[in-house]
């Protein structure tokens, strides 16, 4: 498989920051890029600077009144009238509180994901990664789940408008990719797939099995709501069987995937019990599928992940190592004890009271076992069977 991949980033995206105590903090990107640099896995010739999205591009998905409200609340001192008007748009919510420069920062996030799609579909590179992207909860007229503008949906729309591409959207964040799903729910040329913790217990409360699309788009939507405390084996069993069959069925021109890493056992905002192993294997499966069905065309975005120190940098680095065909990606298949760069640990350990991991993968065999493992696995298999019943 090709070793060519582009890493899309711009420092302006680091301004997407609600406040210092907010879970969605840009230090996640800094930690990841520093880890890749210490590994010497992020060469200058693989970096691609992005651009901000235009207002026209934002309006492909979002309503004009919503964009206007975001812009007005982005000033250093918004007028009281605009503050009161922002409540119905979710901009006074504790998850998405307005902040100075919000519109500009979110526009750079969207522009980065568009840049990644353009790089791949123009033929500049078969693969592109934009870790700043992944704001999949934003709705046409409402901010939600830490997301102001839905960069994933807008990037997909860009692929449709400019290249007429059939897009398979693969969301592996532990929270259902609701904003993207609803944006293309009746579109037969955009297939949305989401594997996540069931919405019975977790935000946003959607992503149930009957959500399969509507009208001409019926069947171009698949959800796999898994049980709380799902572990690696069950997660990967459900993911691999479903995504292989769905990709073969849909025959996409482009795979656009979102890689939230919050199904990890250490993540504070979910109830799953997976290890770093799923974040090693899932990108490898998608990489293979991209070359099998899309001539390699694959764009990946970041997403959630709220254990900044122990989980996110490793998971997102593993994604880049796979996309760029770095030798370590292959080495980790047989050497689970491969150490992290000591320079990275020495740099960041003084900044957190948590003990940083010393190795790329977790020794999950040492973790406390889940007492309902067999029951959870059986229920997940039932979910998989129902999700797959319409796909040969």
Which tokens hold the place of 334? 């047989």
Query: 325-353: string of b/e by CB count within 10 Å (b at 16+)?
Result: ebeebeebeeebeeebbeebbeebeeeee
Number of Cβ within a 10 Å radius of residue 3: 12
Give me the catalytic one of 137, 259, 264, 287. Answer: 137
Phi and psi at 38, nearest 5°, equal -65, -25
Q: Is 137 a catalytic residue?
A: yes
326-330 — which CB contacts under 8 Å span 24+ positions?
Answer: 326/41, 328/39, 328/41, 328/360, 329/280, 329/284
- Give CA–CA dist 371/254, Å, rounded: 40
Which H or E element spans position 9?
A: strand 5-9
C-alpha pair distances (Å), 354 with each of 22, 309, 311: 18, 8, 12
Give the integer Cα–Cα distance in Å for 252 and 282. 18
Beta carbons within 8 Å of 157's beta carbon, 6+ residues apart: 60, 61, 183
State the chain's maximal CA–CA distance in angstroms. Answer: 60
Answer left, alpha or beta for residue 90, where phi above 0 means left and psi between -120 and 50 means alpha: left
Catalytic residues: 137
């Amino acid at each position: 498989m090709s070793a060519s991949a582009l890493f899309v980033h711009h420092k302006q995206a680091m301004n997407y920051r609600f406040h210092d105590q907010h879970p969605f903090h840009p230090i996640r990107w800094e930690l990841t890029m520093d880890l890749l640099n210490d590994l010497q896995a992020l060469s200058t010739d693989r970096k691609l600077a992005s651009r901000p999205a235009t207002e026209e591009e934002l309006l492909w998905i979002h309503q004009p009144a919503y964009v206007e409200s975001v812009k007005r609340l982005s000033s250093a001192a918004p007028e009281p009238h605009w503050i009161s008007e922002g409540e119905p748009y979710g901009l006074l919510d504790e998850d998405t509180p307005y902040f100075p420069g919000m519109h500009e920062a979110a526009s750079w996030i969207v522009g980065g994901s568009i840049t990644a799609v353009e790089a791949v579909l123009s033929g500049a590179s078969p693969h592109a990664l934009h870790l700043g992207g992944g704001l999949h909860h934003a709705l046409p007229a409402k901010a939600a789940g830490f997301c102001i503008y839905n960069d994933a949906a807008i990037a997909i729309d860009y692929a449709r408008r400019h290249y007429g591409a059939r897009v398979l959207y693969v969301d592996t964040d532990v929270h259902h990719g609701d904003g993207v799903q609803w944006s293309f729910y009746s579109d037969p040329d955009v297939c949305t797939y989401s594997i996540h913790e069931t919405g019975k217990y977790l935000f946003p409360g959607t992503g149930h099995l009957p959500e399969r699309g509507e009208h001409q788009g019926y069947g171009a939507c698949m959800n796999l709501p898994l049980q709380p405390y799902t572990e690696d084996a069950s997660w990967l069993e459900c993911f691999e069987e479903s995504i292989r069959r769905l990709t073969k069925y849909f025959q996409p021109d482009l795979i656009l995937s979102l890689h939230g890493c919050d199904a990890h056992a250490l993540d504070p905002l979910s109830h799953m019990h997976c290890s770093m192993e799923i974040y090693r294997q899932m990108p490898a499966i998608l990489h293979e599928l991209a070359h099998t069905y899309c001539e390699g065309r694959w764009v990946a975005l970041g997403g959630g992940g709220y254990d900044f120190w122990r989980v996110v940098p490793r998971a997102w680095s593993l994604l880049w190592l796979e996309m760029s065909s770095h030798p370590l990606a292959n080495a980790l298949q047989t050497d689970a004890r491969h150490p992290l760069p000591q320079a990275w640990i020495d740099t960041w350990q003084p900044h957190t009271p948590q003990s940083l991991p010393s190795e790329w993968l977790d020794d999950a065999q040492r973790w406390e076992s889940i007492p309902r493992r067999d029951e959870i696995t059986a229920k997940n298999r039932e979910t998989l069977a129902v999700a797959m019943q319409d796909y040969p």
